[in-house]
């Protein structure tokens, strides 16, 4: 906590040293000009939530706020695990971005190519320049299938038993593969390095194992005589980064006789062979598979990584408590693209967005920014059809549980399953991306 406050204090000094602008000193953006009070890069979870929360403050008029995103669709990505588990249709989890963006916002359906923070402008890939007073950078991260040799080809082959729920195009292939698989070695992977929703690679495995168990193809108590064998190959040394929840998941793994291949990082697929890198220069390990659920490596997009806004790892370099850029005081970031040292989830954005919005407004009013974000994030871990372990924690992996007084959240629970399957998709699509849901704080008026 002391570190957190120190960091935010330094940032506040930087903010007050720079020239303060107030709402009164800013002329409204002309509808036809490419100059806006706030420009938001990315219309994903963070971009939509922040833009709409800003708009709902009533402090902005037509086209004061602009969103830039080249996509046609806005996706509810957490639902792709449910698609992989055969519980949802992927088409129901996407919304037309043009329709989702409030008409009071200016929408540039274009890609951002470069940032020029010294001049308060961004350049779109069509060459147009857009000026801002405040910039919110939220383009997410790149789920890069080419980081695993052979993966793009294996995913594209409709007959292969290789899939991933981390892509819209293949999340339903995962479901088909699981249903059609009757016999052999099933391997589920989790890469080394930061990914979005660090629980998702094993959620799909738990659902698959439950499906096969119910179908009589996998016996938790006698895997040797089961037609299907299951392995979890993870680049990490443990099942999950937070010890409290990792303990339950490790116990579950042993109980269900899932082979644990720790510090095994999938780097190549060659026919029916998966090749894993090992730490400290150890020899690569090869494993034959009949079904593979692969999770690609993920990282910042080049246009962020190569910009003046990035930290050494390529993420937007913001203060972990205020969400303000460490160098450019009128630049902000939330979500997967940010340097915030917490698990990258939509749930985290429910807690980040109100802090970013409040501090951005304070900055516009010439006030000091406040340290408001404690790293809250959450991961509803499906452990079977009908049960979820609800991991909720803050910086340092310290549990911060909404229902901790009612339930042991490390014990998989039926109520959490319905939160994950029904409530979260509904509240996300109808309230969160419209700026009206604050996660554990509830609905925003
Ligand atoms: C399989 C899976 C399961 C998950 N499960 C959960 C879960 O259970 N719970 C949970 O809370 N979270 C979960 N998540 C994570 C969650 O979906 C992400 O953390 C969240 O969507 C990140 O939001 P974002 O706005 O940072 O990025 P995104 O939502 O990815 O949005 C980024 C946007 O930026 C746009 N963009 C990209 N490049 C540019 C550019 N050059 N110019 C302009 N715009 C650009 C993109 O088109 C996109 O619209 C899951 C994710 C996946 C994939």
Compute, in angstroms, the gap from residue 211 CA to the centroid of ligand 1.
Answer: 28
| Separation of alpha carbons 346 and 379, rounded Å | 9
Q: Is the per-residue pLDDT at 14 higher than 70?
A: no
Q: Give 204's Cβ-side CA count (13 Å radius).
A: 36
Instruction: Please give the full DSSP string across 110-171, using - where no structure is assigned.
Output: S-EEEEEGGGTEEEETTS-EEEEEEEEE----EEEGGGSBTHHHHHH-TTSSEE-TTSGGGH
Question: Distance from the CA of 406 to the center of ligand 1, in angstroms?
Answer: 31
- From ligand 1's centre to the CA of 19, what distance in Å? 33
The best mutation among 74, 125, 346 to test binding of ligand 1, ranked by most ligand atoms within 8 Å of the C-beta, falls on 346
The answer on pLDDT for 4 being more than 60 is no
pLDDT-based confidence at 26, cuts 50/70/90? very low
Contact 155, 59 (CB under 8 A): no
Output the CA 378–ligand 1 centroid distance in Å.
15
In the DSSP assignment, the letter for residue 92 is G
Helix (H, G, I), strand (E, B) or coil at 326: coil
Tens of pLDDT, residues 242-259: 999 999 999 999 999 999
User: Among the atoms of ligand 1, which is closest to the Cα of residue 167?
Assistant: 53
Give the side-chain half-sphere CA count within 13 A for 285: 16
CB atoms near residue 208 (< 10 Å): 26
Which residues does 74 contact at the CB level (< 8 Å), separation at least 6?
Answer: 43, 44, 48, 94, 95, 96, 97, 100, 433
Percent of the chain residues past pLDDT 70, beyond the cut: 93
Q: Are 341 and 333 in contact (CB under 8 A)?
A: no
The residues assigned a catalytic role are: 197, 379
Has residue 25 got a pLDDT over 60?
Answer: no
**Ligand 1 pocket test target in 40, 44, 307 with most atoms within 8 Å of CB:** 44
Quickly state the pLDDT bin for 380 (edges 50, 70, 90).
very high
- Give kind and range of the element (H or E) at residue 247: helix 243-255
> Residue 38: is its pLDDT beyond 60?
yes
- Any idea which of 10-24, 213-227, 291-305, 417-431 has the lowest mean pLDDT? 10-24
Report the DSSP beta bridge partners of residue 128.
Answer: none
Which protein residue's CA is at the shortest distance from atom 3 of ligand 1?
A: 78
Q: Does residue 90 contact residue 84 with C-beta atoms inside 8 Å?
A: no
Can you tell me which atom of ligand 1 is nearest the CA of 43?
49
User: Would the pLDDT of 76 be above 80?
Assistant: yes
pTM of the model: 0.93
Radius of gyration of the chain (CA): 22
Please state the atom number of ligand 1 nearest to the C-alpha of residue 74.
49
Which atom of ligand 1 is closest in space to residue 143's alpha carbon?
53
Report the pocket of ligand 1 as residue ranges, CB < 6 Å: 41-47, 68-71, 77-78, 80-81, 111-112, 138-140, 165-166, 196-197, 200, 301, 303, 335-337, 344-347, 349, 378-380
Query: What is the Å distance from ligand 1's center to 78 Cα?
Result: 9
- Of ligand 1's atoms, which has the minimum distance to the CA of residue 140? 27
pLDDT at 29: 42
Predicted local confidence at residue 138, as pLDDT: 99
pLDDT score of 17 more than 50: no
Cα 41 to ligand 1 centroid, rounded to whole Å: 13
> How far apart (Å, rounded) are the C-alpha atoms in residues 28 and 152?
47
Q: What number is the average pLDDT over the span 9-24?
A: 35
Residue pLDDT, tens place only, 395-415? 999 999 999 999 899 999 999
């Amino acid at each position: 906590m002391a570190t957190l406050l120190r960091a935010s204090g330094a940032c506040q000094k930087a903010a007050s040293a720079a020239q303060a602008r107030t709402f009164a000193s800013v002329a409204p953006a002309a509808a036809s000009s490419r100059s806006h009070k706030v420009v938001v890069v990315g219309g994903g979870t963070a971009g939509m939530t922040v833009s709409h929360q800003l708009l709902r403050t009533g402090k902005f008029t037509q086209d004061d706020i602009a969103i830039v995103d080249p996509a046609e669709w806005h996706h509810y990505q957490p639902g792709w695990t449910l698609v992989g588990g055969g519980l949802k249709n992927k088409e129901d989890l996407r919304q037309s971005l043009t329709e989702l963006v409030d008409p009071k916002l200016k929408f540039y359906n274009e890609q951002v190519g470069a940032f020029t923070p010294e001049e308060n402008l961004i350049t779109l890939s069509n060459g147009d320049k857009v000026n801002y007073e405040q910039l919110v950078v939220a383009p997410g991260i790149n789920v890069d299938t080419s980081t695993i040799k052979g993966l793009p080809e294996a995913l594209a082959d409709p007959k292969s038993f290789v899939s991933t729920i981390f892509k819209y195009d293949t999340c339903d292939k995962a479901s088909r593969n699981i249903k059609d698989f009757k016999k052999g070695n099933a391997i589920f992977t989790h890469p080394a390095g930061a990914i979005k929703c660090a629980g998702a690679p094993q959620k799909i495995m738990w659902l698959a194992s439950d499906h096969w168990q119910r179908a009589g193809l996998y016996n938790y108590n006698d895997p040797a005589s089961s037609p299907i064998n299951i392995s979890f190959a993870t680049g990490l040394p443990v099942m999950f980064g937070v010890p409290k929840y990792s303990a339950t998941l490790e116990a579950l793994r042993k109980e269900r006789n899932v082979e644990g291949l720790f510090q095994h990082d999938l780097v190549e697929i060659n026919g029916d062979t998966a090749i894993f890198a090992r730490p400290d220069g150890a020899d690569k390990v090869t494993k034959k598979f009949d079904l593979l659920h692969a999770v690609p490596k993920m990282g910042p997009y080049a246009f962020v990584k190569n910009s003046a806004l990035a930290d050494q790892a390529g993420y937007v370099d913001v203060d972990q408590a205020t969400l303000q850029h460490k160098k450019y005081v009128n630049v902000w970031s939330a979500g997967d693209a940010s340097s915030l040292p917490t698990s990258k989830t939509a749930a985290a954005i429910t807690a980040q967005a109100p802090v970013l919005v409040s501090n951005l407004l304070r900055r516009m009013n010439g006030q000091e920014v406040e340290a408001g974000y404690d790293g809250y994030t959450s991961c509803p871990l499906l452990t079977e059809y009908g049960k979820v372990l609800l991991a909720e924690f803050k910086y340092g992996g310290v549990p911060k549980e909404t229902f901790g007084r009612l339930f042991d959240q490390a014990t998989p629970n039926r109520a959490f399953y319905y939160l994950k399957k029904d409530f979260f998709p509904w509240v996300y699509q109808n309230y969160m991306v419209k700026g009206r849901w604050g996660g554990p704080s509830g609905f925003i008026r």
